Amino acid sequence: MRHFFYILCLSLCMSIILTITWYFLPGGKISLNRYVSPLPSFLTLTQNNQVRMLDLWLPSLGNKQASAADKYTAKAILMFDLTDNKTLMTKNINLRLPMASLTKLMTVIIALENPKPDDRYIVSESDLVGEDSMGLSNGEVLTLNDLLYGIFLNSANDAAETIASNFPDGRSAFIKAMNKKAQAIGLTDTNFTNPTGLQGEGNQYTTAYDLLVISKYLLQNFPQVLNISSQYTHTIPATSEHKEFVLSNEVNLITSYPGVKGLKDGYTPQAGWCLISYLDYDDHNILGIILNSKDRRGEMKNLLDYSLEEINISPPQHS
């Protein structure tokens, strides 16, 4: 019994000591709130619901071969060897520029990270915008995978808008999530105002550097998109809820440059001709990014040749 009271008294004394110590810390009771996260607020889950985990990839690229890039019409160029984390060529990689349908890479990221549980994406009349489309009709119901084929092969604005309008709390919440995701992966020079890249809805911009980070994030977390972007044609059979869709990818170099597996093209009068190409060749993976080019396909072929030669690989024969 005496042992029990001894333990009880000791516990009570310790509690009193701890309480007094806490109370008289500098700043009193408020002192417990003085400990704050060393991270900026936009990288904390309480302020940014698009933060999944902190695994930031923000490479230091330098200014590789700027003089060699001057002969190209593209306003911005970035060629990067993902295999060796090596910069192969840069030009104006931090220049903010409109990116047209390259925007849809972030649209795809948000869609894949927040899929609808029932995988039923209902098309609304307001989703049918822009010239580039997969030919959706009001009231049709498709799967997310179907819509991704539309985005990568036809650069379908109607597919991107359908994904956004089916997001919890709607299109505006989807665009907010796009910008929160850009912050969450450490980007400071990117702003989205719609899920398509079409002009006329605010100041939408990015940089070649930020597009490298976005592309790497997409490929690292969702490598299955290459199975889609590397397809030249794809048919979505008709169902009771939608018609048949026959899609084709006529812009990227998947049929003319061996090893290219997509990734995304874009054009508006303001953004010019834009292209991101992903090359898987001779055990090396290269990402090429060009913004506002007058000949995106021709220049990308030359840039891929140059990039392979920089790492001592003979470029393939291509058309």
Residue 52 forms part of a structural domain: no
Residue 150 forms part of a structural domain: yes
Tokens of 285: 């993976």
Indicate if 8 and 143 belong to the same structural domain.
no
Indicate if 13 and 78 belong to the same structural domain.
no
Indicate if 72 and 158 belong to the same structural domain.
yes
- Output the DSSP codes for 237-301: --BTTB--EEEE--SSSTTTSTTEEEEEEEEETTTEEEEEEEEEETTEEEEEEEEEESSHHHHHH
Residue 127 forms part of a structural domain: yes
Determine the straight-line distance between the first and last CA of the chain, rounded to whole angstroms.
94
Indicate if 11 and 148 belong to the same structural domain.
no
pLDDT at 188: 93
Indicate if 129 and 173 belong to the same structural domain.
yes
Q: How far is CA 262 from CA 102, 313, 319, in A?
A: 12, 20, 16
Indicate if 105 and 218 belong to the same structural domain.
yes
Indicate if 214 and 291 belong to the same structural domain.
yes
| Amino acid, single-letter form, for residue 138 | N
Indicate if 71 and 207 belong to the same structural domain.
yes
Indicate if 11 and 157 belong to the same structural domain.
no
The domain in which residue 78 lies consists of 66-310
How far apart are alpha carbons 305 and 287 in whole angstroms?
12
- Give CA 309 to chain center in angstroms: 28
- Whether the CB-CB separation of 65 and 72 falls below 8 Å is answered with no
Q: How far is CA 313 from CA 165, 214, 299, 304, in A?
A: 45, 26, 19, 11
- Block means of pLDDT (10 residues each) for the chain, 319 residues, are 51 58 49 51 65 67 70 97 95 97 98 97 95 95 98 97 97 97 95 95 94 97 96 97 94 92 95 97 97 96 97 95
Indicate if 8 and 149 belong to the same structural domain.
no
pLDDT at 34: 47
Domain count, the chain: 2
Q: How far is CA 201 from CA 21, 102, 194, 198, 229, in A?
A: 57, 16, 7, 7, 27
Residue 147 forms part of a structural domain: yes
Indicate if 20 and 140 belong to the same structural domain.
no
Q: If we measure between CA atoms, which residue out of 131, 112, 223, 234 comes closest to residue 174?
A: 112
Residue 44 forms part of a structural domain: no
Indicate if 19 and 83 belong to the same structural domain.
no
Residue 45 forms part of a structural domain: no
- Whether the CB-CB separation of 174 and 191 falls below 8 Å is answered with no
pLDDT at 12: 61
- CATH assignment of the domain containing 179: 3.40.710.10
